[in-house]
Structure 1
Amino acid sequence: MARNGKEKEERRDELLKEVSEIGRPDAYVLHEVIRLEGDEELRRHGLALFLSAFSAGLSIALSLIVPGVLKAHLPDAEWAKIVTSMGYAVGFLVVVLGRQQLFTENTITPILPLLHDRTAKTAWRVLRLWVIVLAGNILATAAIATLLAYAGAFPPAVLKAFAELSHDAIAHDFTATFTKAVFAGWIIALMVWFLPATASAAPFVILLMTWLVSLCGLAHIVAGSVEAFYLVVTGAATLGTYVERFFVPTLLGNVFGGTTLVAVLNYGQVAPEVEETKEVEVERTD
């Protein structure tokens, strides 16, 4: 097992080197980089996954804090929304560049190993990863939202901005929220798909893609949970409203957008090459 893991890690390093040399790698190379990353995540210890996910849930609160502070200091103008939306990207920059576990990234990263090895064992490992990461993310968002509301770290004007920004998370019906979540899951998974090819431009790519999520008013299960929980802990919404109007439709939409629109479709374009590689590996084993 350890030897197998080391071989995969060496293979991933080789592919990353190839990506940096090629400049514009083909779809198969990107697929292999992400698949090997996903396989590594699936083998991680549960506690390590949970702590990383909890850290991500805390860090993603910056996607409410920074826009809230900006909104409180900017005039009430149309252009101000563009600026405050850029602040939304700060939380994602910290999470992605810090290699913390965010649930929406895991709608593509571990799915590629599952598509490569379609067995009950791999499916169970994916489900285990999802449950641990989602639990860590959501628990952390509830904790940080409570802290934002009652720690007294921000002045009333900023707290008011937090409430105004958060209202959109639960302002729509199930269908609208689901649709917004599909687009958000699609954008985040696309970001993960081509991130290995961006090299030093990675921060700019993360900034651009996550800024679009905010600017378009889309629904992200983790960042949006900070907003929704802020409303819950301040009494502006109930826990039932959070679950029915935000959590369930957003979770389903993010998963559908990430797994179906990105992981499965992008896998389809490299499936013949993947199958050829698997056949070669089998022949070498024999």
Structure 2
Amino acid sequence: MTKPNDQDDDGVALTPEENKAVSERRSGSAKVVHEVIRIQGDDELNRPALSLLCSAFAAGVGISASVLAEAFLHQHLPDAQWTPLVTSFGYCVGFVIVILGNLQLFTENTITVVLPVAVKPSLHNFGRLGRLWSLAIVANLAGTFLVAAMLAHRMIVSQDQLDAAVAVSAKLLDNDAATTLLRGIPAGFLVASIAWILPNARGSEFWVVVMVTYVIAVGGFSHVVAGSGEAWLLWLTGKASFGWAVGGFIGPALAGNIIGGTGLFAVLAHGQVRDEIKTD
């Protein structure tokens, strides 16, 4: 017969099997989550350039499914006050593909690959961070541009579907560069929070991604990669200029996402455990 463990001052006596069950059900501490993400980030920083480029390009293509899903829902729904609440679910599709598929999404890297640098802020680590960020954002934007070009030339959609995609994308034109930057801050914070939540999600990863990205869509926040597909499409269909696509949306959204993901979330996430972790 299994004997219970000795009882401590604050707990109850449990058998080894019961202690194991408690451990399996307990969420990881902030230090544990921090270390999980730091190790993941260090692995990403060490990946070959070609691997990063291919993964990031695939992420740009994959996240473009958000534009398609929103357009298809928009096409078949009436013009009602509640319609955006339904079409916004389409926005989650690309993020599910990219995040659960472990593809290289720039805005996830505003926390994942920043933690190794925060722990050891050396010139070498800053160089690795700059290399990964540069490769990721360029390849992400190349992937969204490819899909936008295929949409604009009706290679993968009908005229009605293209019109719906343009209509969905046109909401970006309502904001100036300053507003896009400000709305990029919460988007960067929220996407970075996904990376922090997933280690404790335990089978609920799908719902975490859907819940957080749905908030981004409903709130009208600016995500540089997902939004770049819409910006490219508006330019390629003559609804906006190239200067607006790059300087009016992509640049400001990128800055906002970095501020929200790195300047706010990563700094706060590291700050809460900085005095509790040991570094060499």
TM-score normalised per structure 1: 0.88
Larger radius of gyration: 2
1:80 equivalent in alignment to 2:89 = no
Name stretches of at least 5 consecutive residues in structure 1 with no aligned partner. 1-16
1:192 equivalent in alignment to 2:195 = yes
Structure 2 counterpart of 1:11? none
Structure 2 counterpart of 1:269? 272
Aligned counterparts of 1:154 and 1:29: Cα–Cα separation in 2? 46
In structure 2, which of residues 235, 238, 243 is the aligned counterpart of residue 240 of structure 1?
Answer: 243
1:141 equivalent in alignment to 2:144 = yes
Q: Is the 8 A contact 2:67 2:229 kept in 1?
A: yes
Q: Residues 20 and 158 from structure 1, CA distance in 2 versus in 1: closer, same or farther, beyond 3 angstroms?
A: farther
Structure 1 counterpart of 2:3? none
Structure 1 counterpart of 2:74? 71
In structure 1, which of residues 211, 215, 222 is the aligned counterpart of residue 218 of structure 2?
Answer: 215
Aligned counterparts of 1:20 and 1:185: Cα–Cα separation in 2? 32
Aligned counterparts of 1:130 and 1:41: Cα–Cα separation in 2? 11
1:183 equivalent in alignment to 2:193 = no
Structure 2 counterpart of 1:13? none
Q: Secondary structure at the match of 1:222?
A: helix
Name stretches of at least 5 consecutive residues in structure 2 with no aligned partner. 1-19
Q: Residues 20 and 80 from structure 1, CA distance in 2 versus in 1: closer, same or farther, beyond 3 angstroms?
A: farther
Report the CA distance between 1:157 and its aligned residue.
Answer: 2.3
Aligned counterparts of 2:276 and 2:263: Cα–Cα separation in 1? 20
Q: Secondary structure at the match of 1:273?
A: coil
Structure 2 counterpart of 1:151? 154
Q: Secondary structure at the match of 1:78?
A: coil
In structure 2, which of residues 229, 233, 239 is the aligned counterpart of residue 230 of structure 1?
Answer: 233
Q: Residues 116 and 19 from structure 1, CA distance in 2 versus in 1: closer, same or farther, beyond 3 angstroms?
A: farther
Number of residues paired by the alignment?
A: 261
What is the RMSD computed on CA atoms of the aligned residues? 1.7
Aligned counterparts of 1:174 and 1:95: Cα–Cα separation in 2? 27
Q: Is the 8 A contact 1:170 1:242 kept in 2?
A: no
In structure 2, which of residues 80, 99, 104 is the aligned counterpart of residue 101 of structure 1?
Answer: 104
Aligned counterparts of 2:108 and 2:122: Cα–Cα separation in 1? 22
Report the CA distance between 1:151 and its aligned residue.
Answer: 3.2
Structure 1 counterpart of 2:169? 166
The C-alpha deviation readout for 1:157-183, integer Å capped at 9, x for no partner, is: 221111111112233112211110001
How does 1:6-155 map onto structure 2 within 5 Å? 21-155=24-158
The C-alpha deviation readout for 1:51-109, integer Å capped at 9, x for no partner, is: 00000000011110001000000111122211100110000000011110000000000
Q: Is the 8 A contact 1:38 1:110 kept in 2?
A: yes
Aligned counterparts of 2:26 and 2:207: Cα–Cα separation in 1? 17
Aligned counterparts of 2:23 and 2:54: Cα–Cα separation in 1? 31
Q: Residues 18 and 67 from structure 1, CA distance in 2 versus in 1: closer, same or farther, beyond 3 angstroms?
A: farther
1:203 equivalent in alignment to 2:206 = yes
Report the CA distance between 1:22 and its aligned residue.
Answer: 4.5
Aligned counterparts of 2:125 and 2:25: Cα–Cα separation in 1? 31
Structure with greater proportional helix content: 1
Report the CA distance between 1:243 and its aligned residue.
Answer: 1.4
The C-alpha deviation readout for 1:123-182, integer Å capped at 9, x for no partner, is: 000000000000100011111100011134322222111111111223311221111000
The C-alpha deviation readout for 1:170-221, integer Å capped at 9, x for no partner, is: 3311221111000100110111111111021000010000011011111000
Q: Residues 207 and 122 from structure 1, CA distance in 2 versus in 1: closer, same or farther, beyond 3 angstroms?
A: same
**Identity within the alignment, %:** 41
Could you tell me which amino acid in structure 2 is paired with residue 250 of structure 1? A
Q: Is the 8 A contact 1:53 1:101 kept in 2?
A: yes
